[in-house]
C-alpha cells in the first residue's frame, strides 16, 4: 500500500526542505517523490545533509514541469491546504485521509498523490481545484504555517498508521524486524494465591518492625493492596519484594517477631 502513495512537492524554494521531506518519507516507509518545477537544483549539499541517509529518494525523484504530469496516473489526488479558499472543496483531516487510504488503494492500479505547495504561498487555486479533496492539518490559528517537511511528516505518519491498521500481518513483520529486546521480561503475572502470600508476608513484617498495629488498622493494608494491585505485579517482582521483606524481618527486635 505505502509504495503507491506519491508525495508531490510544487515549486519548492529550499533544497533543504526536499531533503527533510525525503527523510520524513523514508522514516514512514514512503518512497515515491515527484518534484514539480523546483526553484533551483534539488540535489545540493543541504538537501543531502537534511535527508540524513534518505538522499536516494531525492536522487530518484521525478522532476516534471506541471502538476498534471506529476499526478497523471493517480486515482486520488489530495492537496494539502492551510484553509479552504475561494470555492469550498471536500475537506479531510489527516486522520480521515488515513482512514480512507486502505480502501482507495485496494485495487492494484490505484495510486494516491499527496500534493504540497510552495513554502511561502502554498498551492494556487488552480492547483487546489485539480485535487479530489483537500487535507488540512489542524494548527494553532495564531501560527498556522507549518514547515513543508513537517507537514509531509504528519501526513506520512498518518499513512503509516493507516497501513499498520489495515495490514496487521505486514505490520507485525515490520515490528519483528525492529531490534529485539535485549532482556525480555518474565511477563508471568503473579497469581491470586501468590499475591495473598505476599500481602500476608507484608503485614507480618510491618507488625514486626512496629509500623503496623492490627488493632488500629487505619486502612493501611487496604491502601497497600490497592497500590500494589494497580501495578499488576509480575511474579519476579513479587519475589524481589518478598526478598526485601525477609531481610527486613531478620532485623526486627525478637520480641516483636511472630
Angle between helix 148-166 and 94-104 (nearest 10): 50
Count of residues making up the chain: 258
Given phi > 0 = left and psi -120 to 50 = alpha, else beta, which region is 49?
alpha
Distance CA(240)–CA(228), nearest Å, equals 13
| Residue 182: CB minimum distance to a copy of itself, A | 5
Cβ of residue 76: shortest distance to a copy of itself, in angstroms? 15
% helix / strand / coil in the chain, to the nearest 5? 50, 15, 40
Report if residue 160 touches a copy of itself, rule: CB under 8 A.
yes
Which of 65, 215, 216, 227 contacts a copy of itself by CB under 8 A?
A: 227
C-alpha cell at position 128: 487546489
Rule CB under 8 A: choose which of 92, 133, 170, 220 binds a copy of itself. Answer: 220
Is 49 in contact with 22 (CB distance < 8 Å)? Answer: no
Contact positions with a copy of itself (CB under 8 A) in 7-26: 20, 23-24, 26
> Residue 26 or residue 36: which is nearer to a copy of itself going by CB?
26
Residue 219, φ and ψ in degrees, nearest 5: 60, 15
Q: Is 169 in the site for a copy of itself (CB under 8 A)?
A: no
Q: Which of 37, 63, 150, 207 binds a copy of itself (CB under 8 A)?
A: 150
Output the smallest distance, CB 69 to a copy of itself, in A.
Answer: 27
> Rule CB under 8 A: is residue 120 a binding residue for a copy of itself?
no
Amino acid at each position: 500500500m505505502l509504495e503507491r502513495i506519491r508525495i508531490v512537492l510544487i515549486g519548492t524554494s529550499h533544497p533543504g526542505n526536499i531533503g527533510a521531506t525525503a527523510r520524513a518519507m523514508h522514516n514512514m516507509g514512503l518512497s515515491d517523490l515527484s518534484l514539480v518545477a523546483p526553484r533551483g537544483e534539488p540535489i545540493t549539499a543541504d538537501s543531502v545533509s537534511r535527508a540524513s541517509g534518505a538522499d536516494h529518494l531525492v536522487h530518484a525523484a521525478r522532476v516534471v514541469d506541471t502538476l498534471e504530469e506529476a499526478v497523471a496516473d493517480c486515482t486520488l489526488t489530495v492537496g494539502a491546504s492551510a484553509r479552504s479558499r475561494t470555492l469550498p472543496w471536500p475537506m479531510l483531516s489527516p486522520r480521515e485521509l488515513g482512514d480512507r487510504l486502505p480502501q482507495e488503494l485496494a485495487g492494484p492500479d490505484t495510486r494516491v498523490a499527496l500534493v504540497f505547495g510552495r513554502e511561502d504561498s502554498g498551492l494556487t487555486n488552480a492547483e487546489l481545484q485539480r485535487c479530489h479533496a483537500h487535507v488540512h492539518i489542524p494548527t494553532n490559528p495564531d501560527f498556522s504555517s507549518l514547515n513543508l517537511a513537517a507537514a509531509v511528516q504528519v501526513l506520512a505518519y498518518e499513512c503509516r498508521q493507516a497501513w499498520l491498521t489495515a495490514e496487521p500481518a505486514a505490520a507485525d513483520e515490520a515490528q519483528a524486524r525492529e531490534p529485539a529486546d535485549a532482556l525480555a521480561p518474565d511477563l508471568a503475572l503473579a497469581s491470586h494465591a501468590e499475591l495473598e502470600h505476599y500481602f500476608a508476608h507484608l503485614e507480618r513484617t510491618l507488625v514486626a518492625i512496629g509500623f503496623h498495629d492490627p488493632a488500629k488498622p487505619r486502612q493501611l493494608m487496604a491502601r497497600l493492596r490497592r497500590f500494589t494491585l494497580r501495578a499488576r505485579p509480575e511474579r519476579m517482582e513479587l519475589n524481589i519484594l518478598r526478598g526485601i521483606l525477609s531481610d527486613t524481618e531478620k532485623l526486627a527486635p525478637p520480641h516483636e517477631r511472630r
